[in-house]
Amino acid sequence: MTAPARTPRRLESFVCGQWTPGAREGQALLDAATGDPVAFIDSTGIDFAAALAYGREVAGPRLRAMSFHDRAAMLKALGMALMGMKEEFYAESLHTGATRTDGWVDIEGGIGTMLSFASKGRRELPNTRVLVDGEVEVLSKDGSFAAQHILSPLQGVAVHINAFNFPIWGMLEKIAPTLLAGVPCLVKPASQTAYLTELMVRRIAETGILPDGALQLICGSVGDLLDHVTEQDAVTFTGSAWTGRKLKSHPAVIANSVRFTMEADSLNASILGPDAGPGTPEFDLFVKEVAREMTVKAGQKCTAIRRVIAPRAHVQALVEALRDRLGKTALGLPGEEATRMGPLASLDQRDEVRARIKDLQADAEIVAGNPDDVRVTSGDAAKGAFLNPVLMYCDKPFAATAVHDVEAFGPVSTVMPYDDIEEAVALAKRGKGSLVSSVFTDDPKVAESVVLGVAPFHGRVLIGNRASAKSSTGHGSPLAGLIHGGPGRAGGGEEMGGMRGVKHYMQRTAVQGSPRLLSAVTGRWIEGADAFYDIHPFRKSLAELRIGDQLITAKRTITQEDVEHFAHFTGDTFYAHMDSAAAKANPFFDDRVAHGYLIASFAAGLFVEPNPGPVLANYGVDNLRFLTPVYFGDTLQVRLTCKEINPRANAEHGEVRWDCQVTNQNGAVVAQYDVLTMVAKEWPPVAA
């Protein structure tokens, strides 16, 4: 199947709430496999300053008025809607040269990333509009002056400039954390494959799920856009190091200290461990992984394996195994079932890759695949941007430069030998900073040496072995929860990484003041803030509960019988609870002490309200610390304070975090922790 030929459409930009064509017909974008025109792209006449202002003024306030949970729910609804339309995107994706597998990485990988952010945002962020960062810093002896770091959304627009190879994933992996942070986006896809991004943005706009202006799109050149960025905007860039450096040094970016995240060329290395010779599962996994990384998306992946580092003794067997495997790669039209690898994104890109192969030949010889003699199983080799997978070999990698410097952005990798593991690590580091590296080994010592050796040069390191073979997500897959980005040559940026990626679009501020006012700012109770006493707080539903509602319990004295009963009942007869002489010999204790868990259990006995009521469940504790030993005869008392309330969207309950402090008769804190409960929104429940 080929992508059906059609009348090329004129792409439009989506700015200031309007779909806007460029003033000129623009540049023709060609189908990667057939060379037929797919679309025309032009952005002449677009008012970029107005687009930025629209995002800041129209969408920003609306996004910031929503809580993290509201935004997470918005992303979930959007992700689900897009998943329901995926076949339309797959059909359009064929024009880019992507096979179904390639399209899956881009389309479902992108939507899946958005859904992951939605679910992580819901689970890992509070239902507030500001985040607290770290603990309260007490700044005065009497507790009247303290500080709390907070994170609040930038009040500008995030400009996302993307590469041609992932027209969907590249957009969604960036807009998901940005929107979750509460910041509007302006996306500029690479021209070559912008028709797929434009189609998805049209469908997103039609859902009406995002506030007006939250997602704008520029199809074509961004003109003077960067002249108008301010200190509240952010710019992210994926593409060539050359363009990245140019944009990063744009006068307005420098003058306004605009956050600039760059993800550029990366000569990712994969190392075969010395233990992983032919016949081992790791050798087979390595061959499979290298071949997969070379052929998925025709090697047009920023994370693809460019440098294959193997023990000299196994190099020949490795080259033979790879030659055999790559030789079976059916090259052809992306929609044909038999096709294993589609064309590159464009003829220009193929010319570019061929030129880079020539550069690499300064150091390396071609050992598999002919870049000039293309054989296809379907389609027309003369019209499409087809290229065979090309494996190269560099025998003296320490004397070479091109193999460590030149990125051939296609199905091209270079094998290079090492003599000991230190050499393997040194070769990986010659990439001068990469997105990802991997090592295939079943030897813990090799795993340790390689990971500790290469980690400072990489954003991600994968260890492949037989135990994770079935479940591993592989060398080349960035994941929503993990950092994507790398130091040095890879651009120095970090994307995703779960909630780390969200915080990138927020400003961290140290707020100083009295506890009462700090608590008002963060919506979180802190030591020294106002406390309220009326009925037992466990009798209050979320509709009635306030931050600062507090309970001071009755007291309870700990006896030797309590400790011995607990020890025999639970089986925890650790000597510090049972043997006075042994406890005294312990540097931390003067005598036998009560179990920490006995203290926590008695604390619960003191603070619970036993009758059926709005508190539905206790789902754990956070940050439990036992701070002072409890001896027989000590008297305990609990102070329980409502610290944070998170009503759950689309549910009849929410989460309440309680500050729980247990003190002894001298006022010393013996235990401190957060108790986590589920509490009904209404009590008694409103009849359905």
Sign of CA dihedral 297, 298, 301, 307: positive
Using the rule CB under 6 A, give the single segment among 7-15, 58-66, 260-268, 675-683 that binds ligand NDP.
260-268
Among 185, 219, 302, 394, which one carries the catalytic annotation?
A: 302
Peptide bond into 684 cis (omega under 30): yes
Using the rule CB under 6 A, give the single segment among 1-9, 111-119, 183-191, 378-386 that binds ligand NDP.
183-191
Q: Which of 188, 350, 489, 592 binds ligand NDP (CB under 6 A)?
A: 188
> Least distance in Å: CB of 458 to ligand NDP?
13
Query: How many residues sit in the footprint of ligand NDP (CB under 6 A)?
Result: 24
Question: 677 forms bridges with which residues in the sheet?
Answer: 618, 656
Does residue 43 interact with ligand NDP by CB under 6 A?
no
Among 263, 282, 336, 407, which one carries the catalytic annotation?
A: 263
Which residue is nearest to ligand NDP, using beta carbons?
239
> Least distance in Å: CB of 330 to ligand NDP?
24
Using the rule CB under 6 A, give the single segment among 185-193, 253-261, 411-419, 566-574 that binds ligand NDP.
185-193
Does residue 191 interact with ligand NDP by CB under 6 A?
yes
Nearer to ligand NDP, 46 or 583 (CB): 46
Query: d(Cα 41, Cα 30) in Å, to the nearest integer?
Result: 11
Q: Which of 22, 110, 239, 397 binds ligand NDP (CB under 6 A)?
A: 239
For the purposes of burial, counting CB atoms within 10 Å of the CB of 452, is it exposed (0-12), middle (13-18) or buried (19 or more)?
Answer: exposed
Nearer to ligand NDP, 173 or 634 (CB): 173
Residue 422 CA, chain-centre distance (Å), reads 31
Pair 309, 395: CB distance under 8 Å: no
Annotated active-site residue 302? The verdict is yes
Annotated active-site residue 263? The verdict is yes
> Least distance in Å: CB of 678 to ligand NDP?
43
The three-point CA angle 602-607-612 to 5° equals: 115
Nearer to ligand NDP, 148 or 165 (CB): 165
Does residue 305 interact with ligand NDP by CB under 6 A?
no
Which residue type, as a one-letter code, is found at position 294? M
Among 194, 191, 157, CA closest to 174: 157
| DSSP character string of 145-186 | -EEEEEEEE-SS-EEEE--TT-TTHHHHHHHHHHHHHT--EE
> Least distance in Å: CB of 385 to ligand NDP?
12
107-166 positions binding ligand NDP, by CB under 6 A: 161-165
Using the rule CB under 6 A, give the single segment among 204-212, 264-272, 330-338, 440-448 that binds ligand NDP.
264-272
CA–CA distances in Å: residue 543 to residues 147, 192, 246, 614, 675: 29, 54, 54, 10, 20
In this structure, the strands spanning 146-153 and 158-161 are unpaired
Among 150, 221, 168, 210, CA closest to 185: 210
Q: What is the 3-state secondary structure (H, E, C) of 603-626?
A: HHHHHCCCCCCCEEEEEEEEEEEE
> Please, which residues have CB within 8 angstroms of residue 86's CB and are 6 or more apart in sequence?
107, 108, 111
| The two three-digit tokens of residue 278, written as one number | 């032919």
Q: Which of 264, 526, 542, 593 binds ligand NDP (CB under 6 A)?
A: 264
Q: Which of 128, 240, 477, 586 binds ligand NDP (CB under 6 A)?
A: 240
Does residue 302 interact with ligand NDP by CB under 6 A?
yes
Does residue 243 interact with ligand NDP by CB under 6 A?
yes
373-412 positions binding ligand NDP, by CB under 6 A: 407, 409
List residues binding ligand NDP (CB under 6 A): 161-165, 188, 190-192, 221-222, 238-240, 243, 247, 263-266, 302, 352, 407, 409
What residues act catalytically?
Answer: 263, 302
